[in-house]
Amino acid sequence: MRSEILEDEILVAIRRIVRAVDLRSRALIRGHHISGPQLVTLRAVARLGPVPVSALAPEVSLSQPTVTGILNRLERAGLVRRERSEADRRNVLCTITPQGGSVLGDAPSLLQDRFRRELSRLEDWERSQMLATLQRIASLMDAETLEAAPVLTTDALSPAEPHDPPEEGDEPQCREQEGGSS
C-alpha cells in the first residue's frame, strides 16, 4: 500500500514540474515573443558561431526537422541568418544577427527566477546529485531517447515514432486528456 502512495506522490511531483515548465514557457512567449525552444536554439547558434543544422540539432536535444522549423521562425523574425558555406556549398551555416544578439541580451532565464536563485545556493555536489536524479527519472520512464520536443503533449509517442514540428510558433502546450487534468 505504501508503494502505491509513493508512486502517486512521485507522479504528482512530476506533473507539477511539467506544469511549471509549461507556465514559464507561456510567460516567456507573452513577455519576450520567443519560445523556450527558440531561445535555446538562438543561444546555441550564438555560442557555436557559424554552425550547420546537423551540428545544432544534437546540441539542443531536438531532431533536425524540428530545429529546421525553429530556425525558419527565427529567420523570419530576423534573429538568425542561414547561408551556404564558402568551404563546402552543400553545408548551410546558421549565424546570429545583431537583432538576435539584442534579443539574447534582453531574454530572461528559461528557469524561474526563484528556482535559479535557490539552485545557485546549493553546493556543486547537490546540483550534480539533482541532475543525476532527474536523468535517472528520465531513464526509469524510458524517456532518455525522447526528443526534448518544443510542444509538450500527453499523447503517447514511442521514441521511434516520427512527428512533424509545429507549424506556427513553438508554444509549449499541455493537452489534458478527457476527464482528467494535468
Average pLDDT, the chain: 77
When pLDDT is cut at 50, 70 and 90, the band that residue 34 belongs to is confident
Q: How far apart are CA 144 and CA 84, in angstroms?
A: 33
Q: What is the pTM of this model?
A: 0.64
Q: How far apart are CA 175 and CA 154, in angstroms?
A: 6
Top-tier CATH class for 1-109+147-174: mainly alpha
Q: Using H for helix, E for strand and C for coil, what is the string for 2-69?
A: HHHHHHHHHHHHHHHHHHHHHHHHHHHHHHHCCCHHHHHHHHHHHHHCCEEHHHHHHHCCCCHHHHHH
pLDDT tens digits for 118-133? Answer: 888 999 999 999 899 9
pLDDT tens digits for 52-91? Answer: 888 898 888 888 898 999 999 999 999 999 988 777 777 8
pLDDT tens digits for 147-170? Answer: 665 444 434 443 433 333 443 344
Residue 141 has pLDDT above 50, yes or no: yes
For a pLDDT cut of 90, what percent of the chain falls above it?
23
